[in-house]
Structure 1
Amino acid sequence: MEDTVVPKPPRAHRPRVLKRATIIVSATNSEITCTVRNMHAEGAELKIDEYAALPGSFLLYVPTDGTAYSCELRWRQRQRVGVRFHGTLPKPKWHYG
């Protein structure tokens, strides 16, 4: 009997972008500025301050898109953060951006 190797499906293409964004922590409406480095339908990679504390879930507002993304923190390596999107919301009314 031969061992069957099942190939992994290819990773989704992640177009590079350079967008200013704001992480909004819902409990306190605190804001953390960040940069979106790449983005696709299911998530994004962000660049944030290395020492910024992030919760497990938060709102990511991208002014150029006019959209807020409901995010789940998936991984972190110093300044790089990977998030998964769980839907979109309109621009927060109280946000100045």
Structure 2
Amino acid sequence: MAENESRDKHRQRVLKGAAILTGVNNSEVKCTVRNMHPGGAELKVAPESRVPDHFLLYVPVDGVAYRAEVRWRRNDRVGVKFTGIEPKPKLHYG
């Protein structure tokens, strides 16, 4: 996706701590939500992080987990599309 590409939805800049829940042995990858709109978000992750193509993105301040699908990857950034939401995961401490 080009930086100057027109978006059909404005993404609000945010700075929220979050966790990518992979479902593999209850593992999670810490990340930061950089911008967000109802249909998706841009995440900042550690460059060495392994982010699967589909996962739950738990954002504690929102109190829900977003079902997410990776749309693009660039260095330490990942763009995701939300495909639904779920209640706070029972096994998550946040």
CA shift in 2, pair 1:10/1:60, >3 Å: closer
CA shift in 2, pair 1:13/1:29, >3 Å: same
Q: How many Å apart are 1:11 and its aligned residue?
A: 2.5
Where does the alignment leave 5 or more consecutive residues of structure 1 unmatched? 1-8
- TM-score normalised by L of structure 2: 0.90
Is 1:14 the counterpart of 2:11? The answer is yes
Is 1:72 the counterpart of 2:69? The answer is yes
Answer with 1 or 2: which has the greater Rg: 1
Aligned length in residues: 90
Where does the alignment leave 5 or more consecutive residues of structure 2 unmatched? 1-5
2:3 corresponds in structure 1 to none
Aligned counterparts of 1:35 and 1:73: Cα–Cα separation in 2: 15
Q: Pick from 35, 38, 52 the counterpart of residue 38 of structure 1.
A: 35
Q: Pick from 31, 36, 53 the counterpart of residue 56 of structure 1.
A: 53
CA shift in 2, pair 1:61/1:10, >3 Å: closer
Please list every run of at least 4 consecutive aligned residues from structure 1 whose deviation after the TM superposition is greater than 4 angstroms: none
Q: How many Å apart are 1:10 and its aligned residue?
A: 4.9
RMSD in angstroms over aligned alpha carbons? 1.5
2:26 corresponds in structure 1 to 29
CA shift in 2, pair 1:67/1:76, >3 Å: same
